[in-house]
A and B are shown apart, each in its own frame.
Chain A
Amino acid sequence: MSIINTRAGTVRLLAALAAVSLTVVACGEGDGGPVTGNGGGDGGGDGGDASNYPDQNITVVVPFSAGGPTDTVTRLIAEPMSEELGQQIVVQNVEGAGGTVASGEVANASADGYTVLMHHIGMSTAPALYQDLGFDPLEDFEMIGLVTEVPMTIVARSDFEPETLEDLIDYVTENADTVTLANAGIGAASHLCGLLFQDAIGVTVQEVPYEGTGPALTDLVGGQVDFMCDQTTNTSGQIAAGEVKAYAVTTPERVESLPDLPTTEEAGLPDLQVGVWHGLYVPAGTPEGIVTRLSDALKVALADQGVIDQMAELGTAPVPEEDATPDAHRARLEEQIETWGQIIADAGVEQS
C-alpha cells in the first residue's frame, strides 16, 4: 500500500479508476457503439459491396432487456451465425417503448448490413399501438428471415376453480365481471394473447397490466390475480412445479418440455393460435447480396444442433428452413400487421 503515500500514487489511482471505467465502457462500446450513423458516410457507399461483406463486427440490436426471452434467442443464434459469417456479432440491448426505440434506431442506421435488428411479434402490433411511430415496419426494413415461434400457455393461479380449458371458458363467461386477467404490459405478448383469448370466446374481462412478466407471474403464483397467457419461456418452471395451473398451449403442436399439456385446438378453442414469432431485420436499401448472405447464415444457425437443443430447453424450436427467408418473413409481417390491427382496434386499445 505504499503507492498511496505519494502524490504520484493518487494520480496513479485516478488513472487506474479511469482504466477500469474505460474498460467497462469499452465493453459496452464494443457492444456496438453508436447505432445510428456510420461516421457520416451515406452507408450505401463502401458498405454496398456485398462481395467482401462482412469485413467488420456486426451489431444485432435487441429491443428488450438482456436475459429476457428475446435476448436469449438472439444470443443463441448469434454464435453460429458469427462463425458462419467469419465476423464477431455483438448483441446490444436498446430498450424502450415496446421495442419501438430500437426499431426506430435501426430504421435510421446505415443500410450496410452491419446493424441488424432482432424483433418479435411486437413489430406487427406497433403500427396499431403507437401513433407517430417514426418508421414503417414494411417500408423501412428489409426482412432477413423468421427465427423461431415461441409457444404461449394459458395458466391460472393454482387454486383457480376451472380444471380444463373448456371449464375455464365456461367459468370466465359466467363470471365475466369478477375474473381478472393479468398481462405483462400494453403491447406485451401476454397482452396480445389475452386480447385474442377474449376475442375467441367473445367475452370481455378485467385486464390487470403489470410492468413485465416477473411481477405478473409473482401475483399469479401468489393468487392475487386469476389467470394469464404467457410464453413457455416464462411459465414452464412454474407449471412443472405445480405453482400455477396450466390449461393449454397456443401452438398447433404440443411442446416437448410440457408433453401433457394439450394444444388449444385439442382443448376446444381452435381460434386461439398465437406464437411469439421472432425475425431479423436490416434497414431498407441494404444491398440484396448482403440480405442473402445474412439469411443464409441464419439458416445455418437454425440447423445447428446446439441451437435446436437449447431452444428445446426454452420450450421452442427453430422455424422450418423455408421460413428463414426474406419472402416468408415479409409475408408473415404483412399478414400479422393486418390481423393485430383489427384485434387491437376491436378491443378499443388506445394508441399512444
Chain B
Amino acid sequence: MNIRQIKAETVTATVKKLFMDCNYYIGKDIMEALTTACEKESSPVGKSVLSQIIENDKIAASEQIPLCQDTGMAILFVEYGDKVVIEDGSFNDAVNEGVRQAYADGYLRKSVVSDPVFDRVNTKDNTPAIIHTTIVSGDKIKITAGGKGFGSENMSAIKMLTPSYGIEGVKQFILDTVRNAGPNPCPPIVVGVGIGGTFERAAQLAKKATFRPINTHNEDVRYAELEDEMLEEINKMGFGPAGLGGNTTAIGVNVETSPTHIAGMPVAVNICCHAARHASAEI
C-alpha cells in the first residue's frame, strides 16, 4: 500500500463538522430509546420529563442549536492508518483547530480551563481536545468524536477489583456507582463499563463504551447478558427521568473489555447523561 497524503485542513474540517453535528443532532439510537421509554414510563412526572427531553432534542436539531448548554470537553477516538501522512501540519494541531472552529462557529459553550487546581482560567476555545489515537494498518483515518458534559462525568468511578471478586463484584461496583450518582447525572443515563486492562485502559474503555450505539451488544454473549441484566437492575432503582422518580433511570449499558494482568480486574464505570453525543467519519 502506498503512502497517502491527507491535508491538515481536511482533518480540521472533518473534526469541526463532527462536533457541530453531535451537539445539534442526538443519535437515532438515543431518540428511539427515549421514545420507547416515554411510552413505558409509569411515573406521570417521568413521562412528562421524557417528552420534554424528546421535544428539546427535536428543537435542537431543527434549529441547529446545542441540545444541552454543556457542549462538553471534546473527546476523539481515532484509528489512524499507518500509511497516512499529514501533508502540511500535525494531526493533533489539525484536530484542535477543528475543535476551536466548531466551538466558535457553532455557538458551542467553551468549558475548558487551563489549569485544574490553581488558575482555572477558561481557554476560551474549548481546547485542548482529549485525543485517543490507535495506529492501525491502512491508509485511512477513522474518527469518532463526542462532547462530554461533566454533570455525568463527575459521577463516574473506577475500582481496582481483584480476580476473586468475580462477576458479582463487577455487578456490585456498577450498581453502587449508579446508585451513588442518583438523580445528579441527568437520567436517563447511558452507562459505559470498561473491564480489564490497566488502570487507564479500563477508564478509556468505559468512555469508548459510552460512544457505542445503545442498540448494539457486546459480541461476547456473557457480556451482552451483563449489559441487559445491569440495565434491568438500574431501572429498578426508581430514580427515573431527571431523578424525580420512575422506571427509566438508564436507557443503555455498554460493556467493553480488555485482557488484563493475572492479579487484576479493573472496572471503570463512565456515566453519560441522556444527551449521549457522538458522531463518526472516515477520511
To the question of whether A and B form a pair in one complex, the answer is no
